[in-house]
Amino acid sequence: MAIRDRFSKKLNCPQCGNAGFAEASEIDDPKRKHPDFKVDQLPRGFGVQRASNHQESFMIKCECGRKFPFRSLAEAAAERR
């Protein structure tokens, strides 16, 4: 079984300013056809619009109604304390 690479991303909604940290994971094996990307936890105010095996096409929906790809408005989370 492949090891899952876990990481945090900060989500920012450009429409309402809603922000928070999402916890995500994917399989760390470059030989796989798809990385089996999953969002394990979303911050309050965000939901899944369309799930996908790839970050680029995984769609998030903000409570204000704005929809966007996970990767487009997510940035790597700096060390949180």
Report whether 52 contacts 34 (CB < 8 A): no
Other beta carbons less than 10 A from residue 46's beta carbon: 20
Q: Give mean pLDDT, residues 7-18.
A: 91
Gap between the Cα atoms of 60 and 5, Å rounded = 20
Report whether 18 contacts 64 (CB < 8 A): yes
Gap between the Cα atoms of 81 and 79, Å rounded = 7
pTM reported for the whole predicted model: 0.77
**What is the per-residue pLDDT across 20-78, written as a single tens digit (0 to 9) for each?**
999 999 988 878 888 889 999 999 999 999 999 988 889 999 999 999 888 865 555 56
Q: Looking at the predicted structure, is the pLDDT value of residue 2 above 50?
A: yes
Report whether 20 contacts 10 (CB < 8 A): yes
